[in-house]
Amino acid sequence: MTVETKLALTEQDVRSYSAKMNEADWMADFRADALVRAGQLPMPKPDKTKIDKWNFTEFPAHTVESTVYASLDELSEEARALVDKEQQNSIYVQHNNTPAYLFLSEELKAKGVIMTDIFTASREHSDLVKKYFMTDGVKVDEHKLTALHAALMNGGVFVYVPKNVVVEEPIQVLFLHDDEQASLFNHVLIVAEANSSVTYVENYLSTVEEAKGLANIVAEVFTGDNAQITYGAVDVLAKGFTTYVNRRGVTGRDSRIDWALGLMNDGDTISENITHLVGNGSHCDMKTVVVGRGKQRQNFTTEIVHWGTDTEGFILKHGVVKEESTCIFNGIGRIAKGATRANAVQESRVLMLSERARGDANPILLIDEDDVTAGHAASVGRVDPMQLFYLMSRGIKQQEAERLVIHGFLAPVVSKLPIEGVKKQLTEVIERKVR
Amino acid sequence: MATLEIKDLYVEIEGKKILKGVDLTINTNEIHAIMGPNGTGKSTLAQAIMGHPKYVVTSGTITLDGEDVLEMAVDERARAGIFLGMQYPSEITGVTNADFLRSAINAKREEGDEISLMKFIRELDSKMEFLEMDEDMATRYLNEGFSGGEKKRNEILQLTMLKPKFAVLDEIDSGLDIDALKVVSKGINDMRGEEFGCLIITHYQRLLDYITPDKVHVMMQGKVVKSGGAELAHKLEEQGYDWIKEELGIEDETVELEV
């Protein structure tokens, strides 16, 4: 089905935005081409969630101007809490759509590590960005929302780690949202060349009461042979946002991509997290925690595709659903023909805290090869009364007992986040959301 | 001295009558043992004292120093000084043993009067050493992946840390090897004193070789049918239960199967 969608921006608009942001010339053409496709391509069809009535195309403003920060001390208290006070790690801060602060240690610069906003990257590292930007990871023409993302991208970051470079301290990115008119079309591109390793942690922090904009976010993550990327994220986008977030990984031989995602949005969300295990012997570990509340509708697709031989994929998702919210968990392990000795394992657990909450865990295994191992476990249930009885029999009040059980339920993912401040923030957000 | 008093207690589970008039009085500084074959209502009594939601008290009373225990929620019973060492302790992922214990200790204290972290750690360390537990048991998730023996030891650790007035220990000895049994007994004996009373539920005389009970009771058909001193346990060990059944004219000692 093809639906012509009238879009808020014209070709001229995206070209002049590209020029204003001083992007590489090819990027302007890329955007213009994507805009045409966005008008023609169909919407994605997330399994078990109908989104044809959701608004993914209309928004109050393509970009808003926000202040930059001379130092991290100018951040709001909430944002400041996310940053390690003991030592300054390499960090990029984006304020709504404005690249607002960047610090990359001299040591990393000297080793050839790149971290910069996506616009500057397209200009200064044009060849690298062109090679990876929406080519082998997320493709422009997958559906309307990927094309729209490419056309309207208004923020994001590029991280590049050269061959044999091990980045010891986590690299941190803060996407701060405090303007209710702002929309976020952020693109994150991470490339770790052969034998390198990096830990990347991003936070979406939205402090408005009710957002009026859209979020259409794409992250693409590439490992070279024997490289490692650990990707941690905590999304806290305010109520009002309709969010499409697509995080994708592609692995080289014997490499590894590990995800730890805390998806704590308060608006309707479609989240897709897919890793293509292309290189033989590569490995992916995907951990996700989710809390749904109010009337939120959310759909989380987590997929690992095994192309290479001896690849291993582990999916672990834990979700808490309360009030009248709906959470759909689609977990997919796909093993292509030829991916011998692949191992695809997944586990999805949903805990429902109210009668009207709806949780759905759909484990799917698609296997085109004989010599493989695969397994899945899924459950949807309520807080175990025996656990509560046990805790209460030691004097712990019911409310506190429930809190302990819920935190414990989410802990396997929370504990994997690599930055203490971020872990603490996620714990606090969970606390706030489940109370 | 504190007193836990059970009078004419009737308990049902899912409509099945299990306890049919239990009378039992336990004072601090006393250790009581309840023995009896399977299916006679022993575990039901333990669960009813703690307030397990599936066990419905249809008549009778339980009081602690005159206070109505049956009116209290499970956590209130615990804070009043009742402890149940469970036969099958729950496993709780993501909550470490130490965090759980600290929450439980603080639940009994007023806000602002929480136990200091240092004091807590010191006490935990010394109790764990006393009970010959591996250090990593403090940071492991509560009972998760614990062996049967580790779980029972962990129940005793909680007992010694929480220091209740009355403990009901439901088959704390089942599935234990002799070394673990000695450790568990050591923990219970250590609690013995003016401030502590205990009700031990067991099938086996074996545990009572290490913990000498002040009183021994036999349950059949959902009530206490015989009481005596420590010598009663020895007689049961030697002669079994048939002589009691004969004496009382009981053919089938069980109530409906315990859940």
Range of the domain at B31: 3-93+164-248
User: In chain B, which residues have their Cβ closer than 8 Å to the Cβ of A434?
Assistant: none
The DSSP result for A319-356, as a single string, is EEE-TT-EEEEEEEEEE-TT-TT-EEEEEEEEEE-STT
Residue B82, phi then psi, degrees to nearest 5: -105, 140
Identify the helix (H) or strand (E) that includes residue A244: strand A242-250
Is A362 touching B (CB cutoff 8 A)? Answer: no
Instruction: State whether residue B243 is helix, strand or coil.
Output: helix
pLDDT at A417: 77
pLDDT at B259: 43
A390 and B108 in contact by Cβ < 8 A? no
User: Where do the structural domains in chain A lie, given as residue ranges?
Assistant: 11-383
A393 and B84 in contact by Cβ < 8 A? yes
Spatial neighbors of A84 by CB under 8 A, at least 6 apart, are A172, A419, A420, A421
Is A408 touching B (CB cutoff 8 A)? Answer: yes
| Inter-residue contact A222 to A192 (CB < 8 Å) | yes
Domain-embedded: residue B143: no
The single residue listed with the structure tokens 């977030």 is A245
Nearest to A222 by CA among A276, A171, A155, A154: A276
User: In chain A, which residues have their Cβ closer than 8 Å to the Cβ of B114?
Assistant: none
| Inter-residue contact A122 to A153 (CB < 8 Å) | no
CB pairs under 8 A between A and B: 81
B75 and A385 in contact by Cβ < 8 A? no
pLDDT at A1: 40
Of B50, B75, B83, the CB nearest to A396: B75
**pLDDT(A210) > 90:** yes
Residue B221 belongs to domain with CATH number: 3.40.50.300
Is A399 touching B (CB cutoff 8 A)? Answer: no
Distances (CA, A) of B165 to B2, B51, B54, B75, B77: 7, 17, 25, 15, 11
Domain-embedded: residue B220: yes
A409 and B94 in contact by Cβ < 8 A? yes
The C-alpha atoms of residue B166 and residue B160 are separated, in whole angstroms, by 12
ipTM metric: 0.95
Domain-embedded: residue B109: no
What distance in Å separates residue A318's CA from the closest CA in chain B? Answer: 12
The C-alpha atoms of residue A9 and residue A16 are separated, in whole angstroms, by 11
Instruction: State whether residue A290 is helix, strand or coil.
Output: strand
Report, as an integer, the average pLDDT of A200-219.
96
Chain B: which residues have CB within 8 Å of chain A?
A: 50-53, 73-75, 77-79, 83-84, 86, 89-90, 92-95, 99-100, 103-104, 107-108, 141-142, 158, 162
Burial of A358 (0-12, 13-18, 19+ CB in 10 A): middle
Nearest to B105 by CA among A397, A402, A394, A405: A394
Cα A348 to chain centroid, rounded: 18
The single residue listed with the structure tokens 């703690």 is B50
Is A405 touching B (CB cutoff 8 A)? Answer: yes
**Residues 414-433 (A) with a CB less than 8 A from some CB of B:** 415
> A8: pLDDT confidence band, cut at 50, 70 and 90?
confident
The C-alpha atoms of residue A218 and residue A143 are separated, in whole angstroms, by 13
pTM of the complete model:
0.82
Please give the tally of structural domains in chain B: 1
Pick the range with the lowest mean pLDDT from A167-176, A180-189, A377-386, B2-11. A377-386
Beta strand pairing call for A114-117 and A155-161: antiparallel
Output the tens digit of pLDDT for each of chain B's 259 residues: 999 999 999 999 999 999 999 999 999 999 999 998 888 999 999 999 999 999 999 999 999 999 999 999 999 999 999 999 999 999 999 999 999 999 999 999 988 999 999 999 999 999 999 999 999 999 999 999 999 999 999 999 999 999 999 999 999 998 899 999 999 999 999 999 999 999 999 988 889 999 999 999 999 999 999 999 999 999 998 999 999 999 999 988 888 554 4
Identify the helix (H) or strand (E) that includes residue A205: strand A197-206
> A89: pLDDT confidence band, cut at 50, 70 and 90?
confident
C-alpha radius of gyration, chain A, whole number = 21
> A2: pLDDT confidence band, cut at 50, 70 and 90?
very low
Instruction: State whether residue A357 is helix, strand or coil.
Output: coil
A407 and B162 in contact by Cβ < 8 A? no
Residue A138, phi then psi, degrees to nearest 5: -90, 125
Residue-wise pLDDT tens digits, A148-157: 999 999 999 9
Nearest to A31 by CA among A151, A187, A132: A151
| Tokens, residue A130 | 């062109």
B90 and A400 in contact by Cβ < 8 A? no
What distance in Å separates residue A412's CA from the closest CA in chain B? Answer: 7
The C-alpha atoms of residue A246 and residue A157 are separated, in whole angstroms, by 15
User: In chain B, which residues have their Cβ closer than 8 Å to the Cβ of A391?
Assistant: 90, 92, 100, 104
* Average pLDDT of the residues of chain A: 94
> A3: pLDDT confidence band, cut at 50, 70 and 90?
very low
